[in-house]
Structure 1
Amino acid sequence: MMSTRTSTGTSTRTPSRFTDQTVLVTGAGSGIGRTVARAFAAEGAAVVVAGRTAASLDETVALIEKEGGTAVAITADVTRSQDVRALVDRTVERFGSLDVAVNNAGVFRGGAPVADLPEQEWRTMLDVNVTGVLLGLQAQVARMRRQPDGGAIVNVSSNLGAHTRIPGAAGYLATKAAVSALTRAAALDHIADGVRINAVSPGPSATGMSLRAGESPEDRTLRMKDESPLGRVSSTEEIAAAVLYLASGDAASLVGTDLVIDGGASA
Structure 2
Amino acid sequence: MKAHHDRIAIVTGAGSGIGAATAAALVADGWRVVYAGRRLEALQRAIAAAGDPWDDIAERTLAVPTDVTRPDSVAALFDATVRRFGRLDLLFNNAGIFPRSASLEELPLEQWQAAVDTNLTGAFLCTQHAFRVMKAQTPRGGRIINNGSISAHAPRPGSVAYTATKHAITGLTKTAALDGRAYDIAVGQIDIGNAATEMTVAMQQGVRQADGSLKPEAVMDVQHAADAVVHMARLPLEANVLFMTVMATKMPFVGRG
State the TM-score bracket (shorter-chain normalisation). Answer: 0.7 to 0.9
Counterpart of 1:151 (choices 137, 142, 145) is 142
Q: What is the distance in 1 between the residues matched to 2:172 and 2:216? A: 29
Correspondence list, 1:44-63, <5 A: 44-63=30-49
- The 2-side partners of 1:251 and 1:193 are apart by 10
Q: Aligned ranges for residues 4-153 of structure 1 at < 5 Å?
A: 14-15=2-3, 19-64=5-50, 66-68=52-54, 69=57, 70-147=60-137, 148-153=139-144
- Superposed CA RMSD in Å reads 2.1
The answer to whether the Cα contact below 8 Å between 1:155 and 1:200 also exists between their aligned partners in 2 is yes
Distance 1:97 1:105, change over 3 A: same
Judge conservation of contact 2:66–2:73 (CA < 8 Å) in 1: yes
- TM-score, L = length of structure 1: 0.84
Contact persistence 2:9–2:34 (CA under 8 A) = yes
Q: Distance in 2 between matches of 1:188 and 1:157?
A: 17
- Paired residue total: 241
Distance (Å, rounded) in 2 between the aligned partners of 1:82 and 1:252: 33
1:241 aligns with 2:209: no
Matched residues in 1 for 2:52 and 2:69: separation?
A: 31
Cα distance in structure 1, aligned partners of 2:196 and 2:248: 13
CA contact (8 A) 1:29 1:60 kept: yes
Alignment partner, residue 254 of structure 1: 240
Residues 185 and 237, structure 2, Cα contact 8 Å, conserved in 1 = no
4+ residue segments displaced more than 4 Å: none
Distance 2:107 2:50 in 1: 39
**Structure 2 stretches lacking a partner, 5+ long:** 210-214
For 2:221 and 2:140, the matched residues in 1 are separated by: 32
- Following superposition, the deviation at residue 249 of structure 1 comes to 1.9
Q: Distance in 2 between matches of 1:151 and 1:92?
A: 14
- Asked if structure 2 preserves the Cα contact closer than 8 Å seen for 1:64 and 1:71, the reply is no
| Secondary structure class of the residue paired with 1:85 | helix
Judge conservation of contact 1:163–1:266 (CA < 8 Å) in 2.
Answer: no
Matched residues in 1 for 2:62 and 2:46: separation?
Answer: 9
CA drift of 1:64 comes to 3.4
Work out whether residues 47 and 71 of structure 1, in 8 Å CA contact, stay in contact via their aligned partners in 2: yes
Contact 1:204 1:234 in 2 (8 A): yes
Q: Deviations over 1:37-60 (max 9, x none)?
A: 101100111111011101000111
Give the alignment's TM-score, normalised by structure 2: 0.87
Q: Distance in 2 between matches of 1:67 and 1:58?
A: 16
Query: Which ranges in structure 1 are unaligned for 5 or more consecutive residues?
Result: 4-13
SS at match of 2:74: helix
**CA offset at residue 227 of structure 1?**
6.0
Whole-angstrom distance in 1 between the partners of 2:159 and 2:131? 31
Distance 1:251 1:245 in 2: 13
Offset at residue 63 of structure 1 (A): 2.6
For 2:156 and 2:8, locate their aligned partners in 1 and report how far apart those are by CA, in whole Å: 37
Q: In structure 1, the residue corresponding to 2:195 is in which secondary structure?
A: coil
Deviations 1:235-265 (A, max 9, x none): 211111111111122674226x221122354
CA distance in 1, matches of 2:35, 2:80: 12
**Structure-1 residue corresponding to 2:212:** none
